[in-house]
Amino acid sequence: MSGMNSDQLHRSTLGVYSSLMDEFNPSLQKLVLMGNSYVQAFKDLAVTSEAYFNTLSKIGERAFHTTSSRSIGDVLIQLSENQRRLTLELEGVFRWFSVEVLQEMDNNIRLDQDYISGSRRHYEMAVHNQRQLRRGTSQVYPQDEYVQFLRQSHEEALKEEERRYRFLAEKHCGLIQSIAHLMNKTVGSLQQRADDWTSEVNATRQLEARPRSTSLSSTVGMKEEDFRKSREEMPLGSIPSRAPSPQGSISRSAGGGGRSMRALAAHQPAGSNPTLLPFTRGEIITVLVQQARNGWLYGRADSSGRQGWFPSSFVEQMDDPAETTISNKPPEMQPFSAMPDKKAELYSENKRSQTHRSQPELFPRGTNPFATVKLKPTSTNDRSAPRLYRR
């Protein structure tokens, strides 16, 4: 600035005054209006948030008084309460922002309009007087004194401009500090509580699987126990002494076989009686004699091709004749013949599950939208953001 002449100094000083009055203060006034809208938007958000988490709390209270979801209800209630506290903390920050930033800016704008206008009039009058003095006097007016006055006025105008920008920056630094203080006070403990809540909810997911498994195993155990009791209550008659005659007594279908049944339990006869048919549980047995003799049926084990007598109470009718027809075909004629053991295993497992389920499943997992929902936490490098772990 030292290299500027008097005219340049004067024009630059007037430019600072014009910038403050015509640009800075109007922009500051617009900023105040936008800030008020910002505060109002948060108030609307707070009202909506209160309604939302009140509803969540009520749902949590209902869950808390159930026999199945007491711990989950407690988590929902705690989530709601912590959200309310966080909203109250944020309301404190926005109150500070409204009073200490927006109102201060609004007040200063109104005061500054008069202040800057008066300062500019005083400066222009002083410049006018200096020029008149130089023209009206017979003595030589010191040039250095006039230039010094212009330079000093210019520096004061620049300081006033800087002071206003500094005011704006300091106020918003205070806003960020208030937010940072709130984050430091709440985020750490809130993150820990969120992890604890997640662990508590996940614990109920782990417990969910155990009762189902226990219930299934106990159901299977009860069925086997009932089966053993029925065998004891219905003693078998004497074993037929020989295999039935192939004429008349053995049932023959168009395909040359009898009806297929599934073994409810393993039949492993003691000794070496060749007329008895050994088989394992779940095995497919083709019954060749339709009428039991003294409680015994005659049939063929599909896995071994061996024929013999076995207790009629050891087998049950199969539900899907079409599947049985396929299983009776030789391996080279069956579909997926490259994997016969795997197909038989899957088929046997599916049918066993159908056998154990005496009643329809009330909440099938394949169609239940809440059966497998589990939110995965995420992780970022930003410490202020929630941690999210990728599995």
What pLDDT score was predicted for residue 373?
A: 53
Instruction: State which CATH number among 2.30.30.40, 3.30.420.40, 1.20.1250.20, 3.40.50.300 fits the domain covering 259-356.
Output: 2.30.30.40
pLDDT value for 215: 44
State residue 282's pLDDT score. Answer: 87
User: Helix, strand, coil % (nearest 5) of the chain?
Assistant: 65, 5, 30
Output the pLDDT for position 18: 94
Residue 143 CA to residue 124 CA, distance in Å, equals: 18
What pLDDT shows up at residue 214? 43
Into which CATH architecture does domain 6-210 fall? Up-down Bundle (1.20)
| CA nearest neighbour of 1 among 152, 166, 160 | 152
Mean pLDDT by 10 residues, the chain (391 residues): 80 94 94 96 94 95 91 93 91 93 93 91 89 65 78 93 93 92 84 87 71 44 51 60 57 56 84 82 87 84 87 80 48 46 53 54 62 54 46 41
AA letter at 1: M
Tokens of 146: 């006039």
Q: Which residue has the tokens 């630059």?
A: 12
For position 257, what pLDDT does the model report?
A: 56
**CA–CA distance, 314 with 299 (Å, rounded to integer):** 12
Going by C-alpha positions, the residue among 50, 117, 120 that lies closest to residue 86 is: 50
Q: What are the residue ranges spanned by the domains of the chain?
A: 6-210, 259-356
Record the pTM. 0.53
